[in-house]
């Protein structure tokens, strides 16, 4: 019996990280929803900024 660690047990990460499996549809859908939510928030923020700028320019006439 040897007290030294073998190559397989010395690196548990190597044993866990198998070749990349294809992404599941639910992961792709979650990413797509996240992009849509970000896009909607960013668009709304830009629209509010333009409305505020328009209101401030009209008030300064």
Residue 47: C-alpha distances to residues 15, 37, 51, 54, 60 (Å)? 50, 15, 6, 10, 20
Q: Tell me whether residue 55 is in a domain.
A: yes
Instruction: Give me the number of domains the chain comprises.
Output: 1
Per-residue pLDDT, 44: 98
Within a domain: 8:
no
56 lies in which domain range? Answer: 22-61
pLDDT in tens, the chain (61 residues): 556 665 555 555 555 555 688 889 999 999 999 999 999 999 999 999 999 999 999 887 6
pLDDT of residue 16: 58
The reported pLDDT for the residue numbered 20 is 82
């Amino acid at each position: 019996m040897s007290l030294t660690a073998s190559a397989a047990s010395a690196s548990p990460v190597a044993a866990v990280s198998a070749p990349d499996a294809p992404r599941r549809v639910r992961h792709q859908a979650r990413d797509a929803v996240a992009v849509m939510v970000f896009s909607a928030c960013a668009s709304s923020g830009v629209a509010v900024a333009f409305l505020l700028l328009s209101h401030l320019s009209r008030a300064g006439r």
